Structure 1
Amino acid sequence: MQIKNYPKVVLLKGNGPITVNSEMMELITITLSHGLIGLPLKSLRAERVYVVSDMTRFWEVHKEIKEKPCCFVYSNETLDEEDLERIKADNISFI
């Protein structure tokens, strides 16, 4: 029996337009209304992405980084090279 390799679930918040899993959305609307959105990471396109390694920091990072537009990404599982290849951005930072 083979176990299927499912995409990792990521939490996203921030501001600005993004395309995630082939759907365009305005991240600021989701962030202000719900705080974040959680999705399987099949594809993500944004101008600037911050991959945040700590959940506590993820909740507070918008107070520290006020840059616009930006997308903050957190995953409970470590994002490996294959996961990171699914993220397309002009700038990607790891914090």
Structure 2
Amino acid sequence: MPQGREDLIQSLAKSMGMGDAQKKSFSSGKYNAETGAMYCNGHMITKATIEQAKSYFTTQYRRLAEKDDEGAKQLASLYEVAMESIGMVADSSKSEGE
């Protein structure tokens, strides 16, 4: 996994409250571009669930980014990281297959 993407994922995990003890059990996920599924930490995340997550994070980002509240804007930036991370995983896996 490219280091930049790994750093982004670790940053997201940290911002969502994942501590160092939990980080040790973290295993890098694998994305299957053919099926659209992701495999991580011993389980499969289906394409439908991934699309639902990206849609959720995008909706939450748009809703919070418009508010004139510093806390809302900070939370919006976390949602932005999540939705962009999902897109980066899918996009990078597609380009590796070409």
TM-score interval, smaller chain: under 0.3
More helix by share: 2
State the structure with more CA Rg. 2
TM-score with structure 2 length normalisation?
Answer: 0.25
Higher relative CO (Cα under 8 Å, sequence separation at least 6) belongs to: 1
TM-score, length basis structure 1: 0.25
